[in-house]
Structures are given as structure tokens and as C-alpha cells.
A and B are shown apart, each in its own frame.
Chain A
Amino acid sequence: MTKEELISYIQENFSGKVELIENDMPEPYFLIEPKAIVAFSRFIHDDNKLIMHFLMNLSGVDTKENMEVVYNVCSYRLKHRLFFKTVLPHEKAEVDTVKEIWAVADWHEREAWELFGINFNGHPNLTRFLLPDDWDQGHPLRKDWVGRDVIPFPEGK
């Protein structure tokens, strides 16, 4: 499907729950409610006209105001791609896991939890695997994170 076909098809089937983010990219980009993430993922995975069988990437984003989780999915069979994201509050960043839909989300969600502190409800093994095993300084990619051994970049350079 082309970008326009994808947009109209998804807006038909998920009207009211998705919000289109205008962009210049060749892929459609949607904003989804945190509660609807699993239902939406299940829909695009199982639907015969979408068949989004591959989660290319799942990453956390800290925009200072909010936390975001961005999902990039594609369909090998139908050769189209789709991006969507969800916006979470900074203090209580929680979203349901999509591990049951795309198994690869397991490690991606662990990474987002480890570096951004985003909780994925229902994830069976949300444990550390990138940072050192004895890490005790929180989630280092958050904007408000202050590290113990970090040398700050000198001002004015």
C-alpha cells in the first residue's frame, strides 16, 4: 500500500483512537493512546491488508516534557512500512508490552526500560543487560539524569 492508502485504511478501522502526525517521510506516522497500543499492534499484525509481521525498532525518547515510545514496523510481504508512537508522562512512564505480538520487542523493551526507565507492564523479564551488572545510578539517557563520574562538557565550547 502507498502512504495515502495506509493512512485512510488505518483511520477507517481505528477511527478516533489514532491521530495522524503530518510529516515528509515516505511512511505514515501515527500518535496512539498508551492504552490502545496493544490493540493497535494486534490489529496491524493480524490484519490481512497490513500484515506488519516485523517490528524494526522500538525505542524510548525523552523530550523533557514527556517520555515517548516509538515503534517502527514493516511488512516484508506487502512491502510497506508504518511508524507510530505513544506519549507517556515523565513521572509515571508505563505502557503495556507488545512482546506477545512481536517477540523481538523483548530486548527492545528491556533496553528502553534500562536507559529511559519506561515500564512495560506485562513484560516477563525486565532486567538489566546493557549497563554493567552492578549499575546503581538509574536510567542514564533521561534528560534529568546526573551521573557520578560524568565529566560535563565545558561551557562556551
Chain B
Amino acid sequence: MGVNDKLPVHAEQSPGGGIITTELNKIFTLTQAKSLWYLLFGTACCAIELMATGASRYDFDRLGMIFRASPRQSDLMIVAGTITYKMAPVVKRLYDQMAEPRYVLAMGGCAIGGGPFHYDSYSVLQGVDKIIPVDVFVPGCPPRPEALLQGCLEVGKKLRTQKIDDWRVR
């Protein structure tokens, strides 16, 4: 049983079969990590790589990740691309519209710290972590799809360390 292998829980075979005992927290976070829906949102060339990762060769869907066009239905925001000062309020609003628990992955140099627009730029936000909290940074210009997949697995790892009680408090 695949689920039993993954869950560090006490599992027992009931007479009728098919019953395990576990923590609610474990099963919640596991299922959530396996269905991390991300916001369909890209502002520059990293979005092309994001699309490539979602397409058939790299196939986000095998991790249970599918894009949602609405922040209300998304668990993960992948900030793919340059964020200008004009776009910054929009990013902030999209983040605010996402339901808890929500996670942010900063993809590429621009979202991490301005990238090639770090110096002498009048229009580019120097890192998206100046306006919203970022959980995972994936460097690259743009990152390879493998790197993005790894970043999303890291988000899943972080997610599984959290308690469902925390969601209500935040």
C-alpha cells in the first residue's frame, strides 16, 4: 500500500480490511501536498518555462499540480517573471485573494532580486519578497523545468511540516 509507506503512522489491518489509524494533520497535509494547484500567472519569459513544465514533456500534472485561473482556487503562487512597480500592487492583491493555506514560489532571478534589472532600473521591483512572503526561491534565468519541479517538491516538503491548527491562526 503506497499510502501506508508514506505515512509514518500506526496502521493496522482491521477484520474487514481497509482501515488505518493516523493523525488528521498527516493525512491533510499529505493530500494537500499531492494536489498543489498553482495560480496561472506569469509576467515574463519565466512564464514560458512554467508553461513548458506544465506541458507534456515535464508534466506538472503527475505531481497533482494543475493551473487554476483564479487565485481563490489556488494553493501556490509561482511568481514567474519580472515584477515591475506597476505590477507589484496586482501581485499583492492576487496574493491577498488566495485562500489559506497559501504558498509562494519565486521563480528566476527577476522574482528573487531583480535579476538583470537589479542595477540602474527605474521600474523593476528588486525581489518579490519585498511585498509578499516567499517560501521557496528557484534561481535561474530562467530555471530549467527540472529546477522548477524540484522547487515545487520543496514547497510540498515545507507544507508537510505544517500543522492544520496553524492555518486558522494565520
State the A residues within 8 Å of B (CB).
130-132, 137, 140, 145, 147, 149-154
Contact = CB atoms under 8 A, between A and B. Distances in A.
B100 to A, nearest CB: 29
Contacts of A131: 85-86, 123
B119 interface: yes
Interface of B: 85-86, 114, 118-123, 126
A140 B126 CA distance: 17
Contacts of B85: 131-132
Contact of A151 (B86, B120, B123): B120
B122 A150 contact: yes
B137 to A, nearest CB: 19
Nearest to B114: A151
B54 to A, nearest CB: 30
A147 B119 contact: no
B80 to A, nearest CB: 21
Given A131-B86, A132-B85, A132-B86, A151 B122 contact: no
Contact of B120 (A130, A132, A137, A153): A153
A150 B121 contact: yes
B1 to A, nearest CB: 54
13 contacts: A131-B123, A132-B85, A132-B86, A140-B122, A140-B123, A150-B120, A150-B121, A151-B114, A151-B119, A152-B120, A153-B119, A153-B120, A154-B119
Contacts of B118: 151
